[in-house]
Every structure is written in structure tokens, then in C-alpha cells.
Amino acid sequence: MRDDALMSEQLMSEQERGLFAELATELLSNAQAETLIEEIVDSGMGGQVWSDPLALAALFETHGRYLAASPLLDYAALRPPAALAARLVLPGPGRMAAPARLDGDLVVVDGIVLAASAADAGASASASKSSGYALATRHDGVLLVGGAGLVRTPSPGFDPDLEVCTLRGSVERSAVTSVLDVDWDDLRTRLARALAFELLGIAAEATRRAVQHVGERQQFGRPLAAFQVVRHRLAEVEIARMGAWELASATDDTLPADTAVNLIKAAAGRAALAAVAQAQQVCGGMGFTAEFGLHRLVRRAYLLDSLLGGCEAAEVELGAQALSTGLVPQPLVAL
């Protein structure tokens, strides 16, 4: 799970991480994700945030916990100044391949953009500067292009709050304004790690709501939390979340990119989906009501898990690799 920036940037101190986590919580809990991005960019601490696994964890866990919809993933993957100039195009749900490819003189695009209104609303200086798209290719770097020739279509689907848009079409190769020296493997690893922490933030919030509910609700004259089956369900979820967090925050430059991404995806996705499923189970009928709000965590968990391929697909890939090589990655053994 190697990212060269991890080696080149100075990591935050424990005190700095604590202050940063407080800032992220304060702003994201008040739906001020764009303001948080401005703070990171304008303060010059972006290099530390994107390079420090623990700072990244605090940021994206909080982003997930409060179900924020923002271009934050663009910044974690592309890093400024590129993220200021273009919105990152991701593979569609369930897809693992890069969203763009070269076909002769054309760049063919088939992907999605998250929080699509962020660049249009002009809510912040950072967002308003985004005037194009960053298209990742498998072998030709990340291409920056304008929007001409590309059709952006709202696709609210499973999670309308995330404002997903599909982006399809083709542009002339001559329309590429610049090429970022970031290969698809590095970009996928950055994305997988950030998405993993966001999923784990969702898992933590779902578990928190479930714990609160079973502590308050009574059955047969006892709190639901007093029943062993309920406690076991929630304990198993928490153990899975903690294991996935350790894996996502670790770095191992001996692992191939495909293996690293699949490990992160498998562990975090499985933990998040288990958390929302068990939360719905122990919350009973209340957990399915709009007023309770758990459904929003369920929707976000399933959608984010599907990006870069879901956890099931990652597990299949890891199994196939183990069968073909006869080797099992050490982090998987530890889990």
C-alpha cells in the first residue's frame, strides 16, 4: 500500500491531529464541508493531511459519520493544485477499471462525479475554481480536460443526498490541457484508503445509534442491551470495524497495488455493510423509519462500498490471487 507522499511529507504531531479532528468535527457536523476544504487548502496543511494516515482517517471518518457530500475525495486523490482546477471522475458503481481510455485521437469517458453540484454552486472559492474534469486512464496518467463533448446526467439512484452524476462521451485528445504524473495504481490506492475510512465512519455512526437505541428500549422489562444476542451482534461489528481500521491505516510497500486495494476494500466494505445490517436488526421496525435516519447510513454505505468494485468483488479477487499464487497476503492472515 505504497504512496510516495507518505514518505516525503512530514506527519502531524499527536496534538496537531487532535486539533485537526476537532476542526473537522465542528465543520462537518454543521454541514460546512466546503469551508473545511478551504481551511485545509488555504492553511497550507494539505500536504500533511493527505500524507498522514491518521489525519486522513480522522477526516474521512468524520466525513462519513455526518454523511457529508463534498469534493473532499478529489483532494485526497488528486491533491492541490490539480483538485482546485478539476473534478475527479470515478469509475461507476461496481466497476474497477479506469473511467477513461484513449481510442486513437479521442479520450473516451464513462464514469461518475460525486457531489456534482459542489462545483456549480460556487459555495466556496475552492469549489468555484473547478472548471473541468480529471480523467484517470490505465496507462496514460490523469488527463485534465474541459467539459465540452461530455454529457453530465444526474443519477440520484440509491443515495440522492450524494448527488451522483454520470459523465459520458468523448473529447479530442488535443483538448487535454495537461497530464498529471499520477498512475492509476497510486490513484486507486489513495481512493481506496479514503473511501475505507469514510465507510468506517458510517459504521461507527450506525453502531452508535444502535447502542443508544438498545440501551433505551425495553423488552420483557429489560433493556434490549441486556440480551446477549444483541450484545454479541454489536460486539462483532465493532471488532470488524477496528480490524478494518488497522488495515486501512497501515502502509506496506511490498504489496502490489491490486492486492492493497482489494484488502482495504474487502475489510472496510464488509465491516460497514455488517454494521448497518446489524444496526437495522437490533433497532427493529424503528430502524426502517425515515424519522430514525438509519436508512441514510445504509444508502451511503452501499453506494460507497460499490466504488472501485464492492467488497464481495474484492474478496473474489483476493481468493483468485491466493489460488493462482499459493500465497496469502500477510495482512489478510492477521485479520
Using CA atoms, how far apart are residues 64 and 199, in angstroms rounded to an integer?
A: 6
- Give the pLDDT mean for 220-245: 93
Q: Domain ranges in the chain?
A: 1-68, 78-182, 184-334
- Give the pLDDT mean for 148-170: 93
Res 3 pLDDT > 90: no
| 78-182 belongs to CATH 2.70.98 | no
Which range has highest mean pLDDT (42-51, 202-211, 318-327)?
202-211
Res 158 pLDDT > 60: yes
Lowest model confidence (mean pLDDT) among 119-128, 139-148, 174-183? 119-128
Res 281 pLDDT > 90: yes
Res 4 pLDDT > 50: no
Percent of the chain with pLDDT over 90: 67
Q: Is 333 left (phi over 0), alpha (psi -120 to 50) or beta?
A: alpha
Give the pLDDT band (50/70/90) at residue 26. very high
Using CA atoms, how far apart are residues 31 and 68, in angstroms rounded to an integer?
A: 7
Q: What is the pTM of this model?
A: 0.91
Mean pLDDT, the chain, rounded, equals 89
- Give the pLDDT mean for 134-141: 93
Could you say which architecture CATH assigns to the domain 184-334? Answer: Up-down Bundle (1.20)
Q: 259-275: per-residue pLDDT in tens? A: 999 999 999 999 999 99
Res 122 pLDDT > 60: no
Using CA atoms, how far apart are residues 253 and 64, in angstroms rounded to an integer?
A: 27
- Give the pLDDT mean for 196-217: 97
Pick the residue with more confidence: 57 or 9? 57
Pick the residue with more confidence: 118 or 248? 248
Pick the residue with more confidence: 311 or 250? 311
Give the pLDDT band (50/70/90) at residue 248. very high
- Give the pLDDT mean for 177-186: 88
Predicted local confidence at residue 84, as pLDDT? 78
